Amino acid sequence: MPQLDIFADSRDVGLRNDLAQALLDGDVPAAERAAQSLRAEFGEDAVLTPAAVLIEHLQAQPPAAAAPSRLGAQAVLDARRHLEGPVTAAAAAVFDRETAKTWLASRWQALAQGAAGVEWHPTQADAHAAGLHLRARAWNAAASAVDTIAAWRRIPQPLLWMTQARWLGTGADAGWPLLAEALWLAPARAAALLPLLADLALTKLAARFEACFDLAGPSGEDWAWLPAFALVDRPLLAGPLAPANPPPTSLPGEAYKTVAALLRLERQGRHHEIVAQRARLKALSAPLMAAYMATR
C-alpha cells in the first residue's frame, strides 16, 4: 500500500500560503515569484487562475509611495465594476472569508481615494467617493465625503450614505434622526438600507412595524410611518430622534409630530390635550393608533 507523502501535501499548502501573503502585503514581485513556484510544482492548482486576477489588479495600482491618482467618473465606474466582479470572486477563491473582506476593504479604500475628485451627480452616484468609502468600512471618511455634497440632507442617496456612516461609525443615536429623514424622503430606499445597518434592535423594531402595518417586505411608501411607530414602540427614542426634521406636508410626518406631542403631554399629565391628540393620531393612521393604545 503506498504511503501518503505528507511533505508533498505540505509543500503545495506552503506555496499557496506564500502567494496569499504576498498578495495581502501588496508585494507584486513576491506574488509573481510565489505563483511561478506554485505553477512549476503544481501546475493545475486551482488557486493559480484567481491569483493571477489579483496580481493583475495590483499591477494596475500606483506605487504605495506615489500620490493617489485622481480618476474621472467613468474610470471609477469601470474600476468599480471590475472590483466588485472578477476581483471579488478571485479574492474569495484565494483567501478565507474574513481575510478576503479585509483585503477587499483595502482595495475599496484605494478606489475611494482615486475618486476623491469626482463631484456628485445623480446619474453617476456610484462614482462618488462616499459610497466607495462605505464599501471599505471607512465610516468617517464616508461622512466627510458626503459633507462635500451641497444640500445632501435633501437628496436621497447622499442622505442614505450619511445615515449608514453615522449609524455604523458613531452609533444608533447619531443615525436615528438621519434614518427618520431618509424614511420620509425615500421610504423604500431607506427601508432597503436597514439590513446594512446590522442592528438587532432595529431589525426587531422593523419586524414589529411590518406586523403592525401588514407589509409584505421592505418596500413601499408605508415605510415612511416607521419613525412614528419607533416613537410608539420605544419612547426612549424621543431624545435621539429630536433633531429629525419631519416634512411639513406629509401624513407620516404629521403622525410623528403627533406621537412626539403625546409623549410630552403624557409626561406632563395634561389629560384633556392627550384626548385631542389621540383623536388626531387615529385620524392619521388606524394601525399606528392601535399600536399606541396597545402600549397604554
Mean pLDDT value across residues 101-107:
96
Confidence of residue 62 (pLDDT cuts 50, 70, 90): confident
pLDDT of residue 6: 37
pLDDT of residue 214: 81
pLDDT above 90: residue 95: yes
Least confident of 117-126, 187-196, 206-215, 221-230: 206-215
Mean pLDDT value across residues 60-87:
84
Mean pLDDT value across residues 168-173:
97
pLDDT above 80: residue 179: yes
pLDDT above 60: residue 99: yes
Chain segment 129-149, per-residue pLDDT in tens: 999 999 999 999 999 999 999
Average per-residue pLDDT for the chain? 92
| Spans of all domains in the chain | 172-296
pLDDT of residue 202: 98
pLDDT of residue 233: 96
Chain segment 218-228, per-residue pLDDT in tens: 458 899 999 99
SS3 assignment for the chain: CCCCCHHHHHHHHHHHHHHHHHHHHCCHHHHHHHHHHHHHHCCCCCCHHHHHHHHHHHHCCCCCCCCCCCCCHHHHHHHHHHHHHHHHHHHHHHCCHHHHHHHHHHHHHHHHHHCCCCCCCHHHHHHCHHHHHHHCCCHHHHHHHHHCCCCHHHCHHHHHHHHHHHHHHCCHHHHHHHHHHHHHHCHHHHHHHHHHHCCHHHHHHHHHHHHHHCCCCCCCHHHHHHHHHHHHHCHHHHHHHCCCCCCCCCHHHHHHHHHHHHHHHHHHCCHHHHHHHHHHHHHHCHHHHHHHHHCC
pLDDT above 50: residue 105: yes
pLDDT of residue 180: 98
pLDDT above 70: residue 2: no
Nearest to 245 by CA among 148, 154, 150: 154
pLDDT of residue 10: 85
Q: Are 62 and 68 in contact (CB under 8 A)?
A: yes
Q: Provide the percentage of residues in the chain whose pLDDT is more than 70.
A: 93
Mean pLDDT value across residues 43-49:
94
Residue 295 CB neighbours (<10 A): 9
pLDDT of residue 63: 65
pLDDT of residue 217: 53
Structure-block grid coordinates of residue 268: 406632563
